[in-house]
Amino acid sequence: IINYTISVSVQETGESFTYTTSDTTYSFTALKPYRSYDITIAASTSIGTGPFSAVSTVATLEDVPSSAPVGFSASMVTSTSLLLSWDPLAYEDQNGVIIGYVINVTVQETGASFQLESTTTELAVSNLKPYRTYVCVIAAATSVGTGPFSEIYIVKTPEDVPGEPPLNFSVSVTSSSSAYLTWHPPSYEKQNGEIVQYVIRASVLETGENFELTESEQSLELNTLKPYRSYEFSIAAATSVGLGPYSSIVSVETPEDVPCQPPLNLSASDVASKSAVLNWKPPPINCQNGEIILYAINVTVQETGERFQLTSTTTNLKVNGLKPFRTYVCIIAAETSVGRGPFSPTFEVKTLEDIPDEPPVNLTATSITSTSFDLSWDPPPYESQNGEIVLYVINVTVLETGEQLQWNATNTMLEVTGLKPFRTYACRLAASTSVGLGPFGPEVAFQTLEDVPSGSPINVAFVVLSPTDVVLTWDPPNYEEQNGKIVQYIVEVANNQTGETQQFSTPDNSLNIILKPYRTYMLLVAAATGIGLGPFSDPETVVTPEGCPSGSPRNLSAVVLSSTSIDVSWAPPDDENHNGVIIHYTISVTVQETGDSFQHQTDDLKFQLTDLRPYRTHLISVGASTSVCPGPFSSEISAKTLEDVPDAPPTSLEIVPLSPNVIVFTWNPPPYENQNGKIILYNVSVELTGAPDTLMIQLETAGESITFNDLKPYTNHTFSVAAWTSIGIGPFDNITVVTPQSSPSAPPTNLTVNVTSSQSAFIAWDLVPLDQQNGIIVSYTVSLTRSSGSSQLIETTETSLSVASLLPYETYLIGVRAATIAGEGPYTDPVAITTPEDVPEAPQNVIAEDTGSSFRVSWGPPERANGILLNYEVMYSIPNINVVQGGMQYEDVTVVLPAENTSLTADAEPGLTYTISVRCSTKIGYGHSAGVDVFIAYPPGTINIDSPEGIASLTVALIVLVVIVLVSVVLIAFYCVYKKRRSKKYVFNKDSGFISGGEATLTFKNDSFVQSDVEGGLTESTKPIIANEESEM
C-alpha cells in the first residue's frame, strides 16, 4: 500500500473533495458548521487503486451565523410606532437553526440605546419618540450564540406637534409703546420635530382687543403697544405638523407716555392793548396716555420773533404784560408725568394800539450841500411803536444863531433847502399814532457842506535860504471868506526862463520850496477847502544864486584798448542842469570783481585809463562840478579789459588713490587775481620715475580733476598741471606720489616638488619677477589639492617648504602664490605628484554574528587603503576538545582571503566566546587589525552538561519525562477501553461515524479506522496528518 484516497461529499450542497495520504490517519480542517459529510476511503498500490470503503456520514456541530440579516426596512405606523422587517439568512450562512434575531437601537440625537428581540423576520415597535433618528443593527442567533451584526440602518420617525409650550416665556416692558418678549424652545424631548415658528397671543384688557403675532426666532420686540394699558401674553410653538399648547398667561402694564394729541379749541377773550384771556379743552381721552398734570403754551411774537412759554393746570389763563398792537401766535400742549405731548395748530391773538413808547431812531442827513440836505430816519423800534405811525414832527435849532424851526413829515424822509453853507443844525424827532404823539428823541446835529473860499491868503512873504531853498509864508483868508475849513494851500512856482510852472500843496501856513540855482521865479499862493481852491494871491518875484550841477554828464562811453587800458568819453550835462559854470569833470572807476575803486579829474570831455588788470570788469561814471560844488555822477557803464595768460599755476594739488592702479588728481583754479581770463582747460601731465623706462603722458581737461587708470602699482609718479585762457597757457605746478601696493600680478617661478616618502615632500620656488611684484612680498601660500577635491593651504615667508602630512598613495596638485600687504597674486601652474604606497589602515565595520553552530564575520574596506589592496587576513582561535590541566586548549586559525572577499563563515562550538581580528595588506605589507568578540549560544532546548547546573537540570528532566510517559500509557489504555465499552462515537466502520466541526485525526487499522479528538490525545498507533491549510471539506 503506497497511499490512501479519501473521498468526501457534502450532503446539503452536493460538493465533493478528494484527499490523498500515505498514512492511516487524516485530519480535516475548514469544515462548514452544521453540515453532513459522507466519507469513503480506497487504498492504492503501485499497480492501481482498489475499491472504496462503505460511506460513513459525519455531522459538524452548530455555530453562530456567519453573516447578518439583509433587506432591513421600516414602515411608519405613527410618529411613535413603526413596523420593522428583514430577510432571513441564506442557508449557507445560518450555521444551525436560527432561534431569534437581536436588534440594537441607538437614538442618534441623545445617545440612548436599547435592544429589541424577535423570533420572526418582522417586529412592531411602539413608544418611540417623534422626529428621532434611530440607528439600528440586526444579527441572527443560533443556540450557540449571536452572529455578526449587520451594517447600520437609519430609521427616522415623522414630526408631531410639540408636546409642551416654549419655556421661560417672559415679557419686559421697554417703553410705553414697546415690550421685549423672550423665550426658549420646548425641551428637546417635547419638541417632536423642527420648530418652524412661534405664535404669540395678546389681549388688551381695557378694550378687549385681541391679536396674534408669529416669529421664527426666540425673541420679539413689539413697538405698537399703547401707553397706559394692561396686556396679557401667551405663546405656543409650532412644527410643520401643527401648533402645540400655549404657555400660561404673562400680564404686563405699559407705563404712561406723553399725550398723542394736543388740547382742543384754543381761543382768546377780553383782549386789550396789554392783556388777553386764553381758553381751551383737554386732548381726547384715548390720546391722553395718562393723567394730564399741566398745559404748556408756547407764544411767539409774530412781528419780532420773540418767544416765551406759559403754563397752566386749568383750561384757561389770563396773560398780562403784553405789548400793544402785537400779533401773538400761540400753540398749546398737554403734559403727563412722562412728558409733553404734541403742540396744537397755531392760534393768533392781536392786542390793541397805544402811543409810541420811544422816538424814531437813526436820524441821518444825506445829499448834503452847502445850502440843503435830505433827512431820513427809521421808525421807533417795532416793539415800541404800539400802533401804526401816522406823523413825524422835527424840531430844529441853528446852533450858530439860535434860530428855532419845525418840520412835519408823514414818511421817514424829508428834503430841506435854503440853508446856510457850513452851518450846524440840531434836530429832535418824535412819532405819532392815532392815539397820540410819543416822546422826542435826542438832539442830532447836521452841518451843511463847505464851499470854495471867496478870498486869497493874506500877508504873503518869502526868505531865500540857499541857491535851491526858499521859504514862503502867509496867513489864511478872512473868516467870512473861508466858506469852510481850510484843508490845504496851493503854492504855484513859475520859472521865468523856461515858462515851466509847478504847484505844491501844504496844510501849513508856510512852505520850504526847492528851486533850481541861478534862476528867476514867480511865487503865488491860494487857500482850499474840501470843496475846492479859492483865488491866488498877487505874485512874488525870487532870483536864486549859483549852485551845484543837478544833472550828470551825458552819453558816457568806453572803448577797451588792451588788457590794461580803456578810453572814456562823454558830453556835458543839459543846460538846465548846469546850475552855474562847469569848471571840471571827475571820472570814478570801480573794479567789479575786487571792489577796488579810484578817481581821475579832467577839464576835457575824454580820458584814457591805464595800468589796469587784465580781464576785469570796470564800472565807470563821470560827474561835473561848478565853483560851488560837484554835481551827481552819471549812471555807471561797464568795460572789461581783454584776457591774458594766467600768471600763476593751479592751487591745492591733491592725489586721491582709488586703487593701486587708479588715482584721482584734483586741483583748484589759479587765484582769481592771477587767472587773467576765463580758464577754458587745463594741461595735465604725468611722469613715471624710478623705473627702467621713464614714461610721460600729457592730457587736457576742462574739469578740475582727472582720473588716471592702468598706473603701475608701487611706483613714483609726478603729476603736473597748468591753466589755459584763450590767450595761452600759464605756469605749471606739480606733485609727486608713490602709487599704493597691489597684489602680485604674476606667480613665483621655477616651482619644483621632490617626493621624499609616502607622507612627505620638499617644495621649492623662485621669486616673482621684480616688475610684477607690485609691492613688498610678505608671504607665500602653498596649495595642496587631493584627487578628491579637498585642499590644504600652508603659508610661509620662505621660498621652500617641507611637507610631512601627506597621505600615502594619493595624487596631489601643488601650486604656490605670493602676497603683498594688498593681497595675494595668482597661483603657479600646478605640479602633479603621487605619493608612494604604504600599509593600509584597519578594515571598517567589523561585525560577527552567531549563526548556530558557526559564526559569520563581515567587514568593510579600510577608510584609506594607502595603495592597492591584495588580501584580507582573518585570525581566530578554536577550542581543542582535549582537557589539559583542567582547562580548554585553543588553536589559532589564520584565513587569508582575496581583497574581493568581505565576509567569512566558520564552524564554532556553543557556549564559547571567539575573539576575531581582521587586517588587510598592500604590496608594502599588512596594516593594523580590527577585532570583534562573538559568543556562540546553545541551541534552544539544550543544556550545557559541562556545568553542574546543566547536570542537575538534565537529571530532573529525565525523571519528569519517565513519569509523564508512564502516566500517559496508563491514561491512554484506560481511555481506549472506556470508549469501546460506552460508545461507537469515535470508531469508524462501514456503517456509522461522527466527526467534530473543527479538526479530526483518522487512524487506520485493517478495514476500519478510528478518530480521536485532537484535544483528547491519540492512541499509541496513531500518526496525526494535518490537512493542508488550503484544503476545504
The set of cell numbers assigned to 813 is 596638485
E strand map for 285-402: 294-301, 307-312, 316-319, 327-335, 347-350, 361-366, 373-378, 391-398
Q: What confidence category does residue 58 fall into, taking pLDDT thresholds of 50, 70 and 90?
A: very high
Per-residue pLDDT, averaged over 583-590, amounts to: 95
The answer, yes or no, to whether residue 278 has pLDDT greater than 70, is yes
Phi and psi torsions of 92, nearest 5°: -65, -15
DSSP sequence for 464-488: E-SSSEEEEEEEPPPGGGT-S---E
887-918 residue pLDDT tens: 567 788 999 999 999 999 998 888 889 999 99
pLDDT at 747 over 90: yes
Residue of 286 and 760 predicted with greater confidence: 760
Spatial separation of the C-alpha atoms in residues 392 and 361, rounded to whole Å: 12
Dist. CA 412–CA 408, nearest whole Å: 10
- Is residue 989 over pLDDT 80? no
Instruction: Identify the pLDDT of residue 162.
Output: 95
- Give the C-alpha separation, 454 to 473, whole Å: 20
894 alpha-carbon distance from chain centroid: 77
Q: Are 1000 and 1011 in contact (CB under 8 A)?
A: yes
Over residues 448-470, mean pLDDT: 90
Give dist(CA 630, CA 611) in Å, integer: 27
Distance CA 303, CA 297 (A): 18
Q: How far is CA 1029 from the centre of its chain?
A: 70
pLDDT > 80? residue 689 = no
pLDDT of res. 153: 93
Tell me: pLDDT of 601 over 70.
Answer: yes
pLDDT of residue 984: 35
Of 278-292, 688-702, 886-900, the least confident: 688-702
Banded model confidence at residue 262, pLDDT cuts 50, 70, 90: very high
pLDDT at 711 over 90: no
Residue 424: is its pLDDT beyond 70?
A: yes
DSSP H stretches of helix in 461-564: none
The reported pLDDT for the residue numbered 1031 is 30
With 90 as the cut, is the pLDDT of residue 974 above it? no
- CB-count burial class (<10 Å; 0-12, 13-18, 19+) for 352: middle
pTM for the model stands at 0.35
pLDDT, the chain, mean: 87
For the chain, what's the residue count?
1033
Tell me the pLDDT tens digit for each residue of 79-103.
899 999 999 999 889 999 999 999 9
Q: What angle do CA 312, 317, 318 make, to 5 degrees?
A: 140
Among 486-500, 842-856, 974-988, whose mean pLDDT is lowest?
Answer: 974-988
For 89-166, strand residue ranges (E) read: 100-107, 113-118, 122-125, 133-141, 153-156
Asked whether residue 1003 carries a pLDDT value surpassing 50, the answer given is no
Which pLDDT does position 710 carry in this prediction?
84
Q: Which residues of 653-667 are buried (b: 16+ CB within 10 A; e: fewer)?
A: bebeeeebbebebbb
- When pLDDT is averaged across residues 739-747 and rounded to a whole number, the result is 92
Rounded to 10 degrees, what is the CA torsion of 19, 20, 21, 25?
A: 30
pLDDT score recorded for residue 217: 94
Residue 986 is predicted with a pLDDT of: 32
Q: How many Å apart are CA 966 and CA 975, to the nearest integer?
A: 14
